[in-house]
Each structure stands twice: as structure tokens, then as C-alpha cells.
Amino acid sequence: MASLARLIDPIHRLRRRLFRRPEPPKGILIISAGGLGDTVLFSLVAERFSSLAGPRELVTVLLRHDGVKTAFCLPDKLEVLTVNFGRFDKDITYRWKMLETLFKANYRLALSTDFLRHPFLDETMIAACDALEAIAMKARPWPKYDVQLTANRRLFTRIFDSGETRRDKVVRWNDFANWIAGKELLPPEVRLTKPFAGKTEEKASREVIIQPFSAIRAKQVAPACYETLINALPSNTVVRITGLNSDLDAYPEIRRLTELDSVVFDPSTFFEIAPRLQTADLVISVDTALMHLAVALGAPTLCLASAAYVGEIVPYDPCICPNNVTFLYENLPCAGCLGDCIYPLIDGRYACVEELTPQRVVEQAQAML
């Protein structure tokens, strides 16, 4: 059922036609509507898009509200505009307010960096900008919205064909930026060069940080795997399990692990834990934002991945992959399904995740330590 809030879109479109903005357009809006991990990865190429700005032009990055917690990875000179996409789709007052904000900003260039776009969310925001120029990649196929996505191509003055559906995100962004700017820069390695001012206490022992939680439950490794790993680590190892307090409420098996003598639970924000990631002896994480952040900060990182996003997210393309990360996954014939799993879940997990046995995880972790 279509959202009632979308009924105001034609009214705002009429307003844009009738109202002339008095000042000449200026500034760039870059929409990056991915999640927390996407924001970390996008920060690697953000400079390449912001370089399109002219002298003294302001560059604003529009982020989803649930992707802003890693916005500290972006270059400091970029402004950040946060939009709650859920409210934008359902709340008519909020939708009008954001449409007005974007229109009154009077951007010279509106740029969408997302391959996966929604015709009534981020593309509606592009339309609201009514910018002198609007650029995007050809949108990823989406059967539910393909007709509208095709119709919305008229919103853009230039559209880039970024290639196959499954491609490394950073490589795709780099190709897009090169195409716009007429450059041939190589894709950047997954490494943040931005300094972080935070401090952490000096370590008295070996420290392993574990992030066992994912927004997609089927990507989570069995808790028993972590228990075996913790018991196999050297006796002088402190294990720090990180996540939200609500994660512990949802997964009592993980809460039980935090009661072990060598284990502490750390609910720090991404910004707060960043300095600790830089000094950790090993970070073990499922395919989630903390994993990307740990790799980008140079931490020895073991990613326990599903095969669902092979070719798009993990493992990284060899041309951008640093030597501080190891991706452990079972490359089944169905790899790259993007979450559309053809097998029944096993205790709520993808079949490929179930293949990550405790023995494999322990052997890889001990080798990295």
C-alpha cells in the first residue's frame, strides 16, 4: 500500500515550478543512503566526489539517520544532513519539511552515490532539490519499483552505467567518481587516514574484541562458536564483546558469555571504541559496520562472513583489500544471493554461516594472534 505522505509530492512539485529562488544555485548535495558500514566505506571515496565543488562551495552529505553514527569517518570539511527515511515515508509533516529544506538549499549539483535507490525516498529527495544538475548511477534492478525507477531517469541530467549487479561497493564508487570528474584514479585501499583524538587506557594484557551481532540475524555465527574460541585463547587475553545493551537482551546466549572471568561487555559507540580498535590485538566480527571500521583503522581483523554478499561487500576486491583483514566464509555455489537464500535457515542462520565451525574459527584466530 502506498504511503499517504507521498500524496504531497505533486503539490511540492507544483510549488517548485511556480516559485523562483532569488539567488543563483550554489553548493553540492551528495546522497549516501546506506547504513553504518556503507558510511565507513563511502568515507574512503568521499573526497573524490567533494572535489567536484567549486571555490568556496559547500558540500553536504545526506545520510540516513541510522547511518550517521559512523559519520565521524567522513572528511571534516563536509556538512552532514540527516534524514529519517522511515519518517520521511510515513509522516506527511516531516516529508514536507525535508522537501522544503532540500529545495530552499538551492544546490547547484545533486548527486546520488547509491546503486540501490528507492523511487519514493532518495529519488524524491533528488527531485526536491531541483538542482541545475543531477547525476546518478543507473539504479540496481528492483522488480517492485522498476517501472518507477525507469520513469525517474528523467530526474537526472547524467546517468552512469556502473556495470554488473554484483560489484565491490568501493570500486563501483571509484569508477563513478572517475567518470564524473574525467579522471583515472585507482580505487583507494580500505584505510582511514583521518586521525582520531580519543584515548584508551594502556593495555596490561592481550585484548581481543568480538562483535557477534548483526542487523541481519541470519548472518550471526552460533554463540557456541565464540565460547569455544574464548576458551581456546591464551590465558592473558581479555575478551571485549561489543554491541548494544539491547543486543544482550535479544541474545541471552551471548549475555552468558559476558559473565566469564576473561570477558567484559563494551556498549561503546563507534566513535568511542575507535581508539581501542586501533590498539586491539585482534578484532573478530561478523560482516557489519564495526568490521569495516576495524579494518579501515588498521586493526588485525577476522571477518566471519556469510556468502550472501560475496562480490559486493565481502571479501573486498583485491585492489582495495589491506593485509590486516582475513575473511572467513564458505563459498557455496549460491554465493552472492544478496540475502535471497535458497536454503532453509538452520537455527535462524544462513546455511553458509552454519559452515563456519568453531574449529575453523579458532584455528584462524590463533594463527592471526
Over residues 145-161, mean pLDDT: 98
Query: All 3 cell numbers of residue 93?
Result: 509533516
Cβ atoms 325, 182 nearer than 8 A: no
169-188 pLDDT, tens digit per residue, is: 999 999 999 999 999 999 99
Count the residues in the chain: 369
User: Per the domain annotation, does 211 fall within a domain?
Assistant: yes
Tell me the pTM. Answer: 0.94
The C-alpha cell 552454519 sits at 354
**Tally of domains within the chain:** 2
User: Per the domain annotation, does 118 fall within a domain?
Assistant: yes
In this model, does residue 198 exceed pLDDT 90? Answer: no
User: Per the domain annotation, does 245 fall within a domain?
Assistant: yes
Per-residue confidence at 312, pLDDT binned at 50, 70, 90? confident
Domain harbouring 43, CATH code? 3.40.50.2000
Over residues 338-357, mean pLDDT: 81
Per the structure, the complete domain to which residue 169 belongs is given by: 9-181
DSSP H or E segment with residue 71: none
Mean pLDDT (the chain, rounded): 93
Q: 148, 181, 214: which is the final residue of a domain?
A: 181
244-253 pLDDT, tens digit per residue, is: 999 999 999 9
Instruction: Give the integer Cα–Cα distance in Å for 170 and 41.
Output: 7
The stretches of 297-357 forming alpha helices (DSSP H) are 351-354
Give me the phi and psi of 256, to 5 degrees please: -65, -35
Give me the phi and psi of 70, to 5 degrees please: -110, 15
Give the pLDDT score at 352.
85
232-275 pLDDT, tens digit per residue, is: 998 889 999 999 999 999 999 999 999 999 999 999 999 999 99
Over residues 138-143, mean pLDDT: 96
